[in-house]
C-alpha cells in the first residue's frame, strides 16, 4: 500500500507537496475505504489549475523509469516548475508491505533523466546511486556483486539502478528481498487512466487498448449490458465479426439489424465503455488514479461508479472530480475526501477543528468554505 507521497519542483508544485494516506481517522462507518491503516479509496477535489492532474502525473512518474509499461511522455512537458531555480524534481514514496516500510527517493532533471536514487527498507538504506558521481551500492543479498557504477552505454547512463537490480540480480529469499519484490511488483501494477471519450492510460499494460474488445475478450458483454441498464441505458449488445479486419466488434441489435455500438452511443455512454473495461482490470492493479473520471456523467452515475470502485477489495483507487454531489458520508467519509489548493493536499477531517460525524452534511460544509485553510 502507498502510505505517503511527496514531490517538490514538479510542474505547478514549486514547493514540497505531501499526499498522506496513512492518517486514517477512527470512523466506524464505511470502514472498507481503509486498508492496513491507509486510505484505500478516496476522491481529490480542487478548482481548475489546482493540481489534480499534476498530482496524478507526479505519483505515476515512478513508472517512467522503473517499468516498461505504457507511458504518456507528452503529459510531462514543462517537467520542472517554471518559477523555480532548483535543478531537479524530487520524489519520495513511502509504502507498507505486510508491516515492512519501504521508502523510495529519487531526483530527476527530466522525465527519463535520473540524478539520484535511494531505497530504504525498514529504515535501512539498501540501495543508493548518485548519477553525477557515478557511484553507488546495494546491500540486497544476491545483488552485492552487481557493479552499479560499471560503464554503461551513453543511452543507459541514467538507467534506474533499482530496475537494473530487479532485472539482473538473483536475489536470495530474505525479508528485505521480499519487500523489494513487493515494491517493484506494486509499481508494475499501477494504473492511471482518463475516463473521457479517448483511451489514454499509463502503467499496468503495454500498447494501445481497445476497451470494447477488452470487454469482449473478458467475456463480460452481458455484465456490461446489465451495468448500462442500471443507468437507464437499454441496449441489446451483441458481438459481430468484422469481415474486413477479422476482429470482433461490439454492436447493438435493433429490429432491422445491428449497428456498431459507438455509432449510436452518446459521448458519455462511450466513456462508460472505457470505464467498464478498466473496472474489470482494476482488481488486478495495485494503485489506480482516474483523472476527472465523471466529466460526462450525471450525478447519479457518478455516485454509482464510486460505489463500484469502493467494492474493489485489494486495490487503492483515487478519483479526481469537481462534482460536489459526491461529497457525502453515504459514499465515503471525511478522511477519504481530499482538497488540493495552494500546493497543499489534505483530507477534510484535517481541514477543520470540528469533530466530523456521519450526520454532518459534508457537501454543504464544503460549499460554505469549512474546508478552506
Integer Cα distance of 81 and 78 in angstroms: 7
The total of structural domains in the chain comes to 2
- pLDDT of the residue at 210: 86
DSSP 80: B
Cα–Cα distance, 69 to 7 (Å, whole number): 22
Residue range of the domain that includes 321 = 2-204+284-367
Question: Which cell goes with 28?
Answer: 466506524
The pLDDT value recorded for residue 299 is 78
Same domain, residue pair 247 and 290: no
Residues 150 and 258 in one domain: no
d(CA 151, CA 104): 24
Shared-domain flag, residues 246 and 145: no
Q: What is the rounded distance in angstroms from the CA atom of residue 26 to the CA atom of residue 294?
A: 29
In this predicted structure, what is the pLDDT of residue 286? Answer: 98
The answer to whether position 198 is within a domain reads: yes
Same domain, 218 and 190: no
Q: Are residues 157 and 290 in the same domain?
A: yes
Question: Does residue 372 fall inside a structural domain?
Answer: no
pLDDT, residue 247, reads: 83
Closest CA to 346 of 46, 7, 15, 26: 46
Q: How far is CA 218 from the centre of its chain?
A: 22
Report yes or no: 337 and 45 within 8 Å, Cβ to Cβ: yes
Q: What is the pLDDT of residue 49?
A: 83
Provide the whole-model pTM. Answer: 0.94
Contacts of 147 (CB under 8 A, 6+ apart): none
Q: Tell whether 96 and 241 lie within a shared domain.
A: no
User: For 198, how many CA atoms within 13 A lie in the half-sphere containing its CB?
Assistant: 5
Contact, 197 vs 296, CB < 8 A? yes
Divide the 373 residues of the chain into consecutive groups of 10 and give the mean pLDDT of each group. Answer: 98 96 93 94 91 95 97 94 96 97 98 97 96 92 84 73 93 96 98 76 90 92 93 91 82 90 86 90 95 75 90 94 92 96 94 92 93 83
Given this model, what pLDDT does residue 296 score? 66
CA distance 36 to 97: 9
Establish how many alpha carbons lie within 13 A of residue 194's alpha carbon, considering only the half-sphere containing its beta carbon.
12
Task: In whole angstroms, give the CA distance from residue 135 to residue 128.
Answer: 8
Decide: 332 and 42 in contact? Cβ < 8 Å. yes
CA distance 91 to 78: 16
155 and 57 co-located in one domain = yes
Same domain, residue pair 215 and 199: no
**What integer pLDDT is reported at residue 231 of this predicted model?**
85
232 and 338 co-located in one domain: no
Burial class for 261, CB neighbours closer than 10 Å (0-12, 13-18, 19+)? buried
Amino acid at each position: 500500500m502507498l502510505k505517503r507521497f511527496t514531490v517538490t519542483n514538479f510542474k505547478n508544485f514549486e514547493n514540497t507537496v505531501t499526499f498522506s494516506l496513512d492518517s486514517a481517522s477512527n470512523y466506524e462507518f464505511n470502514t472498507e475505504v481503509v486498508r492496513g491503516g491507509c486510505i484505500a479509496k478516496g476522491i481529490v477535489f480542487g478548482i481548475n489549475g489546482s493540481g489534480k492532474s499534476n498530482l496524478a502525473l507526479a505519483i505515476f512518474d515512478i513508472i517512467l523509469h522503473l517499468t516498461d509499461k505504457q507511458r504518456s511522455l507528452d503529459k510531462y512537458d514543462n517537467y520542472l516548475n517554471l518559477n523555480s531555480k532548483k535543478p531537479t524534481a524530487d520524489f519520495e514514496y513511502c509504502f507498507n508491505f505486510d508491516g515492512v516500510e519501504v521508502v523510495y527517493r529519487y531526483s530527476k532533471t527530466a522525465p527519463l533523466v535520473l540524478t539520484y536514487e535511494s531505497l530504504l527498507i525498514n529504515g535501512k538504506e539498501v540501495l543508493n546511486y548518485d548519477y553525477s558521481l557515478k557511484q553507488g551500492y546495494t546491500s540486497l543479498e544476491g545483488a552485492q556483486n552487481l557493479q552499479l557504477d560499471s560503464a554503461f552505454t551513453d543511452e543507459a547512463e541514467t538507467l534506474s539502478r533499482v530496475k537494473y537490480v530487479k532485472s539482473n540480480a538473483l536475489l536470495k529469499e530474505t525479508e528485505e528481498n521480499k519487500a523489494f519484490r513487493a515494491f517493484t511488483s506494486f509499481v508494475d501494477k499501477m494504473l492511471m487512466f482518463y475516463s473521457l471519450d479517448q483511451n489514454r492510460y499509463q502503467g499496468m499494460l503495454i500498447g494501445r487498448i481497445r476497451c470494447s474488445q477488452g470487454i469482449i475478450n473478458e467475456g463480460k458483454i452481458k455484465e456490461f449490458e446489465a451495468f448500462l441498464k442500471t443507468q437507464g441505458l437499454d441496449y441489446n449488445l451483441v458481438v459481430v465479426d468484422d469481415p474486413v479486419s477479422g476482429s470482433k466488434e461490439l454492436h447493438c441489435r435493433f429490429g432491422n439489424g445491428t449497428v456498431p455500438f459507438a455509432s449510436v452511443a452518446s459521448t458519455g455512454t462511450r466513456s462508460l465503455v472505457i470505464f467498464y473495461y478498466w473496472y474489470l482490470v482494476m482488481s488486478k492493479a495495485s494503485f489506480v488514479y482516474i483523472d476527472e473520471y465523471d466529466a460526462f456523467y450525471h450525478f447519479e452515475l457518478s455516485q454509482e461508479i464510486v460505489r463500484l470502485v469502493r467494492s474493489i477489495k485489494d486495490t487503492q483507487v483515487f478519483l479526481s472530480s469537481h462534482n460536489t454531489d459526491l461529497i457525502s458520508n453515504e459514499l465515503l467519509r471525511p478522511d477519504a475526501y481530499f482538497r488540493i489548493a495552494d500546493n497543499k493536499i489534505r483530507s477534510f477531517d484535517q481541514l477543520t477543528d470540528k469533530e466530523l460525524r456521519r450526520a454532518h452534511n459534508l457537501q454543504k460544509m464544503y460549499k460554505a468554505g469549512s474546508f478552506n485553510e
